[in-house]
């Protein structure tokens, strides 16, 4: 794929992997992106996962068309992007490696060498001249590893954004960008909103016409759309109006309460109601929904003097990603010693800017007429 006259795509698609980072389901695979800038000097931007060494090196060779690369620029040391550094060096022994100081520390850890004989250590604002193309390096620590940097190419106005603006899904599959980019961002980068905000402020100073991420498609049109979404996600803002209900149910009584609440919310004009059965839903998608919508209902049973395991996992997934700026309601159920609401609220006590509804539901085993009235009141409050 040709991105500009001088920039070629040399990445690969992975349809073999079922769980990204060992936890995120990727039904449509994943792309490991790599790029070549062909100028008076040639820069290769990142490598790919170890499973695709031969294919990637063939892609590099084809893009070079008989020439030799001058630089390998390493934006991020996660192995899906860095695994072939040593193979590349063996293939092209005269190439210089350009990266942050922390990246070279990680290379020592991964490969047993920090490449002292060929390394160029860059820091904030450093530049590299290729000919027409002047590359400017910007540090992006904790987006989402500490060694990350991004690169801006002044000639073609391209941002090589590391994992920022990435998404799940191989490039030979057509799908909506936002859905899988949101799940990718919330799952992997979501904790680091402040660091993403810092990066957004840095890149706002540049005229960016193209974004080349390490995962997902090259972005060339309507970049404001992607930038605005990243601003919303990294400030933990509300992307969509609606109510997200997350629940667990042992014998179906909590589920009945949730179904009644969803029905009443729709009757009261709620624009969107999303219901996730945490025992059966993809947990990453449920967490994504909680960050997308502004109002969340947590419904579960008291279980082993705590709360049902899937709800505990769900709330932990929220808090470790800095869940904040939301309105939360509770539905608890218990046949004796009911404590779910207290436990759930306690798990959220360190989350910022959480407001709680006046109406909450406490069920003792099965719904009563009083519970139904409470659900009606909660629906009106949320809608």
Residue 248's pLDDT band (boundaries 50, 70, 90)?
Answer: very high
**What percentage of the chain has pLDDT greater than the value 70?**
100
Q: What is the pLDDT of residues 145-172, one digit of tens each?
A: 999 999 999 999 999 999 999 999 999 9
Helix (H) or strand (E) run with residue 99 in it: strand 96-99
pLDDT at position 337 is: 87
List b or e across 77-114, with b for residues whose CB sees 16 or more CB atoms inside 10 angstroms.
bbebbbbbbbebbeebeebbbbbbebbbebbeeeeeeb
CATH code at 7-234 = 3.60.15.10
CB 180 within 8 A of CB 119: no
Q: For the domain 240-382, what is the CATH superfamily, name and number? A: Flavodoxin domain (3.40.50.360)
Q: What is the pLDDT of residues 31-83, one digit of tens each?
A: 999 999 999 999 999 999 999 999 999 999 999 999 999 999 999 999 999 99
Alpha carbon distance 229, 225 (integer Å): 6
Averaged pLDDT for residues 265-272: 96
- Residue boundaries of the structural domains of the chain: 7-234, 240-382
pLDDT at position 1 is: 82
pTM of the model: 0.93
> Judging by DSSP bridges, how do beta strands 42-45 and 71-73 pair with one another?
parallel
CATH topology identical between 7-234 and 240-382: no
Alpha carbon distance 88, 53 (integer Å): 9
Contacts of 277 (CB under 8 A, 6+ apart): 247, 248, 249, 255
Query: Comparing C-alpha atoms, which of 290, 308, 288, 287 is closest to residue 299?
Result: 308
Alpha carbon distance 5, 20 (integer Å): 33
Contacts of 283 (CB under 8 A, 6+ apart): 310, 313, 314, 317
Query: Comparing C-alpha atoms, which of 203, 299, 205, 197 is closest to residue 247?
Result: 299
């Amino acid at each position: 794929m040709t991105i500009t006259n001088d920039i070629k795509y040399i990445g690969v698609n992975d349809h073999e992997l079922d769980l990204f980072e060992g936890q995120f389901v990727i039904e449509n695979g994943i792309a490991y992106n790599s790029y070549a800038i062909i100028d008076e000097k040639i820069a290769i931007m990142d490598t790919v996962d170890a499973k695709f060494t031969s294919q990637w090196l063939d892609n590099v060779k084809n893009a070079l068309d008989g020439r030799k690369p001058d630089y390998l620029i390493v934006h991020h040391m996660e192995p899906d992007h860095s695994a072939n550094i040593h193979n590349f060096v063996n293939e092209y022994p005269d190439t210089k490696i350009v990266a942050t100081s922390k990246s070279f520390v990680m290379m020592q850890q991964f490969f047993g060498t920090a490449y002292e004989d060929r390394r160029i250590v860059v820091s904030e604002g450093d530049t590299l001249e290729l000919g027409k193309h002047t590359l400017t390096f910007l540090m992006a620590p904790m987006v989402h590893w500490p060694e990350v940097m991004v690169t801006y190419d002044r000639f073609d106005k391209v941002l090589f954004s590391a994992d920022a603006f990435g998404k799940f899904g191989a490039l030979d599959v057509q799908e909506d960008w936002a859905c899988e980019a949101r799940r990718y961002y919330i799952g992997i980068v979501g904790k680091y909103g402040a660091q993403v905000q810092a990066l957004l402020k840095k890149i706002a100073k540049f005229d960016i016409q193209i974004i080349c991420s390490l995962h997902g498609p090259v972005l060339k049109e309507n970049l404001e759309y992607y930038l605005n979404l990243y601003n919303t996600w990294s400030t933990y803002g509300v992307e969509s109006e609606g109510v997200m209900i997350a629940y667990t149910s042992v014998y179906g009584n909590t589920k009945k309460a949730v179904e009644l609440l969803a029905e009443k919310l729709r009757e009261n004009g709620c624009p969107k109601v999303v219901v996730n059965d945490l025992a059966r839903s993809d947990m990453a998608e449920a967490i994504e929904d909680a960050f997308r919508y502004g109002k969340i209902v947590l419904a579960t049973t008291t279980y082993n003097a705590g709360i049902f395991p899937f709800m505990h996992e769900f709330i932990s997934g929220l808090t470790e990603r800095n869940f904040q700026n939301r309105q939360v309601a509770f539905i608890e159920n218990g046949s004796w010693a009911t404590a779910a609401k207290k436990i759930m609220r306690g798990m959220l006590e360190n989350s910022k800017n959480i407001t709680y509804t006046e109406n909450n539901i406490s069920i003792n085993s099965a719904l009563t007429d009083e519970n139904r009235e409470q659900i009606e009141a909660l629906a009106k409050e949320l809608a």
